[in-house]
Structure 1
Amino acid sequence: MSLLLDRSGVRLSAGREGLAVSGVVGFDVAAVLAATGSDWLADQSAGTRVDFDLRGVAGVSSAALSVLLEWTRRARLAGLEVRAVRLSPPLIRLTRLAGLDRLLPLDEAA
């Protein structure tokens, strides 16, 4: 994994499988997090399969879900396949509450 961002206690790493986020994601860091991940996605070849791992995100964060939705949109525009989305239990609950669970390939076994 290579570290793409380390700001305000939030870390974004990229590896063969995709992007991984940890920390408390607030709106103060969401824009730079979304942009950094989007840049990485834009550098991937069309047809690449990627995962988004947000199991390390602490607490319930609508900012983190906003970033995730932006990455999902960017991945599709780049012709990438979002293979799996892994969320922390609080983010799974928020995703279900917002009705976003039907839009994402959630990997709840992770």
Structure 2
Amino acid sequence: MTRLLERGGVSLEASGSVLRVEGQVGFEVATALAEAGRGWLAGQPAETAVSFDLTGVADVSSAALSVLLEWARAVRAAGLTLEAVRLSPALRRLTDLAGLERLLPLAGAAA
């Protein structure tokens, strides 16, 4: 497991082909989180299948959704495949409310 970012109680780690976020994602850390994830995604070999694990994301704001969508764009730009997205229950509800569930390969029911 590689720690890509630790800031303001939020951590981003890469393990195999999975980006894992834990903590309270707010706008004060969203830009750094998005950049760290984009950098990791850009370094993956083309056609790699990657997943995002946000089951450890505590309180939810639209900042977490912004990061998630930015990473989804980075996946496409790097020629990767987004295999699965795992969300915390609160983030899953916000994603459903925003109508984004159609755009992401959400894994199972709310975790």
Match of 2:19 in 1: 19
Match of 1:80 in 2: 80
TM-score, normalised relative to structure 2:
0.96
The CA RMSD over aligned residues, in Å, is 0.9
What letter matches 1:77 in structure 2? A
What letter matches 1:54 in structure 2? L
C-alpha separation between the residues in 1 aligned to 2:19 and 2:12? Answer: 7
Match of 1:96 in 2: 96
Would you say 1:49 and 2:53 are equivalent positions? no
TM superposition shift of 1:108: 2.3
Match of 1:108 in 2: 108
TM superposition shift of 1:61: 1.9
C-alpha separation between the residues in 1 aligned to 2:55 and 2:99? Answer: 19
C-alpha separation between the residues in 2 aligned to 1:61 and 1:55? Answer: 14
Which 4+ stretches in 1 moved above 2 angstroms? none
What letter matches 2:18 in structure 1? G
Whether the 8 Å contact between 1:95 and 1:101 is mirrored in structure 2 is yes
What letter matches 1:5 in structure 2? L
C-alpha separation between the residues in 2 aligned to 1:52 and 1:89? Answer: 15
C-alpha separation between the residues in 2 aligned to 1:102 and 1:4? Answer: 28
What letter matches 2:106 in structure 1? L
TM superposition shift of 1:17: 2.7
Q: Deviations over 1:66-101 (max 9, x none)?
A: 000000000111000000000000000000000000
> Where in structure 1 are there 5+ consecutive unaligned residues?
none
TM superposition shift of 1:18: 1.6
Secondary structure of the corresponding residue to residue 105 of structure 1: coil
> Where in structure 2 are there 5+ consecutive unaligned residues?
none
